Structure 1
Amino acid sequence: MTRNVFVIGLGLIGGSIALSCQKAPNTKVFGYDIFEKTRELAESLNIVDEIVDDVIKTASIADVIIFGTPVNATLEWLERLKQWPLKKDVIVTDTGSTKGLIMEKAVELREYGISFIGGHPMAGSHKSGVRAAKPHLFENAYYMLTPLKDEDEQKVNELEQLLKFTLAKVVKVDAIEHDHMTAVVSHFPHIVAASLVHQLDIEQKQHPMTRLLAAGGFRDITRIASSNPIMWKDIVQQNRQELIGQLDSWLNEMNRVKTLLLNNDEESIEQYFAVAKQVRDELPITTGAFYTTYDLYVDIPDYPGVISQITRYLAEEKISITNIRVVEAREDVFGILVISFQNADDREKAKNCISKRTNFEMYIS
């Protein structure tokens, strides 16, 4: 018997899940997006087996419905879902990065006989939209499921069996715990990054050269501030109570730093940075809450054609790059040329490729 999977929302996340689900045996993947152009692109790129226009009709034959839409949009869809004629054993899930409001809606859906299991694949890309969708986007990333406490285990297992084709690490957590953890490692750091950029914006008005010096380490630690502002408006509003708590803790931490500076005790200041280094160095080198860039730093000499020489070597060995840039302000940065790759394997292949053909020094941060 064929399992029908219906993905609503065919952006980067929804499109990538659809491609992953196509690898599952005896499975047909249907897709819908509110934007006609996205539907056309998804069809031409074979993101799904079949693009549909009639959402309610397709939902009625679906065994699994996956919402790859922003949380606010998903909440609206779930309200409509209550009135749809669905299969008795249908499994509904989402991909949103906050789970509290979603799981409150899940309780309402249960009254209509609908099983909803919250989901959050913790991976992304520097690109967005259906063109950026990849079947391996979630490989080795954490895929968080937040079922209700008394959810039917068989349905949870069925969903896990489908999601294993994403090659992600599927884990189950409580929705409240999920929102707290993601506030700590994802949502709050976005606020910090945005605040640092705002501070730079103020400074550069009086000291214009500050912006030029921000091309090195500052640019790297504030990379996530370039994320979609509409999406982050929604996330901050949906998880605002957790974020208020994180802000209180951050202000306490900044006051602690201020006290260290006021006291000007050499040993205490060094210890502060030593502890931070130790904790940071012990973090797992895996795909976490952020899109991970796999950067290779190359110390290249300054002569015409050197960059094209490097890219030619990589092209000859069919090694794809996601980004390349020249760094002028190189404080805390190891090389003038920074090449980004999709994964660690490609970065290692590139390092070997370049080392075979040149004597350039290379570093992995």
Structure 2
Amino acid sequence: MTRNVFVIGLGLIGGSIALSCQKAPETKVFGYDVQEKTRELAAALNIVHEVVEDVEQAASMADVIIFGTPVNATLYWMDELKNWKLKPNVIITDTGSTKSLIMKKAVELREKGITFIGGHPMAGSHKSGVSAAKQYLFENAYYILTPFDDEDGNQIIKLEQLLKFTLAKIVKVDAREHDHMTAVVSHFPHIVAASLVHQLNFEKEKYPMTSLLAAGGFRDITRIASSNPSIWRDITLQNRNELIHQLDAWQNEMNRVKSILLSNDDQSIEQYFEVAKNVRDQLPITTGVFYTTYDLYIDIPDYPGIISQVTGYLAEERISITNIRVIEAREDIFGILVISFQTNDDREKAMNCLEKRTKFEMYIS
């Protein structure tokens, strides 16, 4: 018997899930997006087996409905589907980066006998849109599910059996725990990164050269400040309570640092950095909630054509790069050329490639 999967929202996340679901046996994947151009691209790129125009009709045939939409759009669609004719055992899930609002709305669906299991695939890309979708986007990333505590276990298993084709690590947590943890490791760091950039912007009015020196550690720690502002506006508002708690804790921590500096105690200052280093070094290397680049620093000589030579070697071995830049201010940076890759495997292949063909010194951060 064919399983019908309906994906609403065919951007990077929804499109990638749709491609993954196509690998499941006896499964047909339908798709819809509010943007006509996206629907056309999805059809041309075979993101789904069939692009539909009538959302309600497609939903009536679905065994699983997946919202690949931002949280606010998902809340809208959840209101809409309360009045749709759905299959008795249909499973509804989403991909939103905050879960408490979603699960609160899901109570209304549950009252109508509709199964809703919250979801959040914790991976992304430097690109966006359906043209960037790929079936292995979530490989080895965490895919968090936030079912109700007393959800039907069989329904959860059915969803897991479908999502296993994303090759992600599927885990189940409480929605509030999810929002707290993502606030700590993702949402709040975006606020910190943005605040550092604001501080730089303020400083460069008096010291214009400051921005020219903003390389190395500053670029690394503020990379995420380049993320889509409208997305982070929504995430910040949706998870505002958790973020307020994080801001309070951050201010307390900064006061502690200030006290250490006022004490002028070199041992306390060194210990502060030592503890941070140890904790940081023990963090697992894994795919995080948002796109992470894998940078390779290459100490190249300065002569014409050297960059095209390096990228040419990588192209010959079909190693894809996501970004390339030349660093002038290089405090804490060992190589003038920085090439970014989407996966650690690509970076390792690049190192092996260049080690065979050149004598350049290479480093990873």
Q: Same fold (TM over 0.5)?
A: yes
Within 5 Å, which residues of 2 pair with 1:1-365?
Answer: 1-365=1-365
How far is 1:208 from its partner?
A: 1.2
The CA distance in 1 between the partners of 2:254 and 2:15, in whole Å, is 41
Distance of 1:309 and 1:44 partners within structure 2:
35
- In 1, Cα distance between the equivalents of 2:204 and 2:49? 51
State the alpha-carbon separation in 1 of the partners of residues 328 and 50 from structure 2: 48
Letter in 2 for 1:302: D
Instruction: After superposition, give the CA deviation of every residue in 1:147-184 in whole Å (9 maximum; x if it has no partner).
Output: 00110000100100101010000000000100100010
CA distance in 1, matches of 2:242, 2:348: 39
Q: Distance in 2 between matches of 1:115 and 1:66?
A: 12
Q: Distance in 1 between matches of 2:311 and 2:38?
A: 32
Provide, for residues 93-129 of structure 1, a one-character-per-residue CA deviation record: whole Å limited to 9, x for no partner.
Answer: 0000000010011111011111000000010111111
SS in 2 for 1:60: helix
Structure 1 residue ranges (4+ consecutive) displaced by more than 6 angstroms after TM superposition: none
How much has 1:204 moved relative to structure 2? Answer: 1.1
Q: Give per-residue Cα distances to partners, 1:43-85, cap 9 Å, x unaligned.
A: 1111111111100000000000000100011001100110000
Post-superposition offset of 1:220: 1.5
**Share of identical aligned residues, percent?**
79
Q: Secondary structure at the match of 1:222?
A: helix
Q: Counterparts of 1:318 and 1:71 in 2: how far apart (Å)?
A: 37
Instruction: Name the amino acid aligned to 2:150.
Output: D
Q: Offset at 1:216?
A: 2.5
**TM-aligned CA deviation for residue 328 of structure 1:** 1.0
Contact 2:215–2:331, Cα closer than 8 Å, also in 1 = no
Distance 1:220 1:42 in 2: 34
Q: Which amino acid aligns with 1:352?
A: N
CA distance in 2, matches of 1:117, 1:199: 41
| Equivalent AA in structure 2 for residue 86 of structure 1 | L
Specify the code of the residue in structure 2 equivalent to 1:135.
Answer: Q
Between the aligned partners of 1:284 and 1:220, the Cα distance in structure 2 is 18
Q: CA deviation at 1:212?
A: 1.1
Deviation at 1:290, TM superposition (A): 2.9
Count of aligned pairs between the two proteins: 365
C-alpha deviations, 1:271-322, integer Å up to 9, x for none? 0000000000000011122322111111101111010000110111111111
Alpha-carbon offset, residue 334 of structure 1: 2.1
Residue type at the aligned position of 2:203: E
Question: Which shifted more, 82-91 or 285-294?
Answer: 285-294
SS at match of 2:7: strand
CA-atom RMSD in angstroms: 0.8
Q: What is the alpha-carbon distance in structure 1 between the residues aligned to residue 128 and residue 217 of structure 2? A: 24
Question: Does 274-283 or 287-296 show the bigger shift?
Answer: 287-296
Query: 1:229 Cα deviation (Å)?
Result: 1.0
Distance 1:217 1:306 in 2: 25
Shift in Å, 1:354: 0.2
Relative to structure 2, which stretch is displaced further, 272-281 or 230-239?
230-239
Contact 1:216 1:328 (C-alpha < 8 Å) held by counterparts: no
Offset at residue 215 of structure 1 (A): 2.9
Would you say the 8 A contact 1:217–1:330 is kept in 2? no
CA deviations 1:305-356 (Å, max 9, x no partner) are: 0100001101111111111111111111121111111211111111000011
SS of 2:61's equivalent in the other structure is coil
User: Whole-Å Cα distance in 1 between the matches of residues 144 and 304 of structure 2?
Assistant: 48
TM-score (norm 1): 0.99
> Which amino acid is the alignment partner of residue 25 of structure 1?
P
Which moves more between the two structures, 185-194 or 324-333?
324-333
| CA distance in structure 2 between the aligned counterparts of 1:215 and 1:49, rounded to whole angstroms | 46
* One-letter amino acid matched to 1:124: G
In 1, Cα distance between equivalents of 2:255 and 2:299: 39
Aligned partner letter, 2:70 = P
Q: Which residue identity lines up with residue 122 of structure 1 in the other structure?
A: M
